[in-house]
A = this chain, B = another copy of it.
Amino acid sequence: MAAETPTELELLILKVLWEQSPLTAAEIRETLAQRGRSLAHTSVITMLQRMVVKRQVEQLDPVEGKAFRFSPLVGDKQVTQGMLGDFVDRVFDGSAEAVILSLFDVAELNAEELSNLRKLLNKKLREVKP
């Protein structure tokens, strides 16, 4: 039991911490503000507190000064893939293929990305086929 699906704001905070950690609440708050999400200091702390309870982050003792620092306990890949899996199940009834088809329709992938994908696809095909 681990790695519950984070809420919207939890994910934002995790993203900050995945890029750099540990960070203090104030540092996290500042980064969020730079990204267009301005919150009161206490709001950030409340969230962090809840995330500690949910085991999404851990609270580290201050090295110097008085501010706690926080580190993620869940991994980038782990979380996003979990969320992706949930999403595929909930919205596309578990069909990864349907998702990709839909993405082709909507997303504007450039030539480079497309050939990248083809390369990968070929590799996968070789793996699957004997």
Contacts and interface: CB of A to CB of B under 8 A. Distances in A.
A120 B104 contact: yes
Question: How many copies of the polypeptide does the oligomer hold?
Answer: 2
A39 interface: no
Contact of A111 (B100, B116, B120, B129): B129
B84 A113 contact: no
A75 to B, nearest CB: 13
Contact of A102 (B8, B84, B107, B128): B84
Interface SS of chain A: helix, strand, loop or mixed?
helix
Contacts of A81: 102, 105-106
A33 interface: no
A53 B31 CA distance: 37
A66 interface: no
Contact of A106 (B84, B97, B117): B84
* Chain A interface extent, by class: 35 or more
A97 B106 CA distance: 12
A107 to B, nearest CB: 3
Given A80-B91, A121-B121, A128 B111 contact: yes
A92 to B, nearest CB: 7
